[in-house]
Amino acid sequence: MNSADRHVVRWLALIGVVTLAALLRAQAFDLVIANGRVLDPESGLEAVRNVGVNGRTIAAISEERLNGRTVIDASGLVVAPGFIDLHAHGQTPETYRYQARDGVTTALELEVGAGDIAGWYAARKTGALINYGVSIGHIPVRMAVLRDPGKFLPTGDGAHRAASPAQIKEIGRRLADGLEKGAVAIGAGFPYTPAATEEELLEVFRVSASHRVPIHAHIRRGVAGLEEALRLAAATKAPLHVVHINSTGTTSTRELLNMIADARQKGMDVTTEAYPYAAGMTEIQSANLDEYENASEQRVALLEWPRTGERLTRESFQKYRKTGGPVVLHTNTEEMVAIAISSPLTIIASDAYWENGTGHPRTTGTYSKVLGRYVREARALTLMDAIRKMTLMPAQRLERRVRAMQAKGRLRVGADADITIFDAAQLIDRSTYREPALPPVGIAHVIVNGVPVVTNGQLVEGVSPGRAVRAN
């Protein structure tokens, strides 16, 4: 090649580079998120980038300026994958709105679950604000088989009557049928079904093992409760997900986390989750509250009636137990909750709970509370570690069964455009036990499948881009 030729080649190469850059600039994306600090827990990327979205997919992540038909200026803001909540009761338009403002783009009801999977998904097929999904639940299936009169949790035979061998077989058959119809997991809550025998629980775990799908279980309290669940999982080789280790573990939270770490080291498929509040909430008529029937005044005073804020006495406990409604349980300490939240083992999951206009503040504040109080104020964990617990870890828990989850929980080209954009310096929860509906501040924009559902901290009306998360 003579010097003139070399000159031409250099020019052609230069034109190529310039053309590529020009093409990238000229191409107009449907949506561009400009100049945000992009966090992706899978690749470890944490840098200022521009994100281009086409349709419902992330199409570009670039240091170059990108053109968009719509542009969100994310200067000074964090751009993270949308939060995936593995434990979200409610599943109503109202709770989807609360959760969207807390940065949640996918809310899954995996603990209580549903008894009729086809019907549950059909009821939402016109769309929802955020992505949604459900497990086939041992609790509702048992309620149906034993004809329990309760609405959400069992209050009659579903809680208090042992199932016959034929009924146990029928429970197993309905669980397997729910999985065939696309349920995301199996749900269970042993304290809500205290009459379920070991034989019945083994049947639940066997169905889980044969389909290789995790049981999202509210186990019995403390070390003995986890020993029981690990024994059932080991006997059947069922994957196990222990819900809210904070409220199940209370004073033994550290010990329970160590037991889970040991089980994982031995090769068991066990995971867990936590929510950042020292008080729980459940239905006062549920069997989970039976133990307060003959408890001391001091113990009953751990319960709060959220409609009035009063602490219960033995007398008022009996009164409200007859009428029914949600009750707050002040049974944990902040110290134990901090251990649960900062453990690398825990996924963040809200256990969102809302009933007739009142509920637990975790419904509206779980994710902003972890990021505001535990990451920024207490420095108990890094921002990247917290984001991993809210996005990649829950996606990975489900992706073996639900292929769609492989494209969630990540901020990379080709992933679903579920994105949460927030001000890490301002973000804070505001909801309390008395005012559980107060939204957090600092969640600036939330995008679901490429469509903004929260813009400048405000809900966008009239959109429903949320899609079903369902097993293949």
Burial class (CB in 10 A: 0-12, 13-18, 19+), 165: exposed
Least gap, CB of 359 to Zn ion (angstroms) = 12
Least gap, CB of 111 to Zn ion (angstroms) = 4
Least gap, CB of 420 to Zn ion (angstroms) = 23
Q: Closer CB to Zn ion, residue 111 or residue 416?
A: 111
Least gap, CB of 238 to Zn ion (angstroms) = 20
Backbone angles phi, psi at 438, to 5 degrees: -65, 125
Q: Closer CB to Zn ion, residue 41 or residue 361?
A: 361
R_g of the chain, CA atoms, integer Å: 24
Instruction: Answer whether 84's CB lies under 8 Å from 416's CB.
Output: no
* CA-based torsion, 80, 407, 388, 252: positive or negative: positive
Q: What is the DSSP letter of 468?
A: B
Least gap, CB of 135 to Zn ion (angstroms) = 11
Which string of DSSP letters, residue by residue, matches 321-334? Answer: HHH--EEEE----H
For the chain, the maximum distance between any two Cα atoms, rounded to a whole number of angstroms, is 100
Instruction: Answer whether 293's CB lies under 8 Å from 387's CB.
Output: no
Q: Closer CB to Zn ion, residue 203 or residue 351?
A: 351
Residue 92 Cα distances to 37, 130, 197, 328, angstroms: 32, 11, 33, 21
Q: Closer CB to Zn ion, residue 35 or residue 95?
A: 95
Least gap, CB of 23 to Zn ion (angstroms) = 50
Of residues 195, 256, 188, 197, the one with CA closest to residue 221: 256
3-class state of residue 70 by DSSP: strand
**Side chain identity at residue 401, one-letter code:** R
Cα separation, 72 vs 75, in Å, equals 9
Cα separation, 36 vs 94, in Å, equals 30
Least gap, CB of 131 to Zn ion (angstroms) = 19
Q: Closer CB to Zn ion, residue 328 or residue 415?
A: 328
C-alpha count within 13 angstroms, C-beta hemisphere, residue 74: 34
Rounded to the nearest 10 degrees, what angle do helices 253-265 and 222-236 cross at? 20
Least gap, CB of 13 to Zn ion (angstroms) = 60
Question: Residue written as tokens 């008395």?
Answer: 434
Q: Closer CB to Zn ion, residue 273 or residue 351?
A: 351
Least gap, CB of 353 to Zn ion (angstroms) = 7
Least gap, CB of 89 to Zn ion (angstroms) = 6
Q: What is the DSSP letter of 376?
A: I
Of residues 168, 167, 46, 58, the one with CA closest to residue 105: 58
Q: Closer CB to Zn ion, residue 111 or residue 200?
A: 111
Q: Closer CB to Zn ion, residue 87 or residue 206?
A: 87
Q: Closer CB to Zn ion, residue 243 or residue 336?
A: 243
Binding residues for Zn ion, per CB under 5 A?
111, 351
Least gap, CB of 96 to Zn ion (angstroms) = 17
* CA-based torsion, 99, 104, 105, 108: positive or negative: negative
- Tokens encoding 312: 């219960």
Instruction: Answer whether 354's CB lies under 8 Å from 325's CB.
Output: no
Q: Closer CB to Zn ion, residue 152 or residue 160?
A: 152
Q: Closer CB to Zn ion, residue 110 or residue 130?
A: 110
Instruction: Answer whether 245's CB lies under 8 Å from 254's CB.
Output: no
3-class state of residue 241 by DSSP: strand
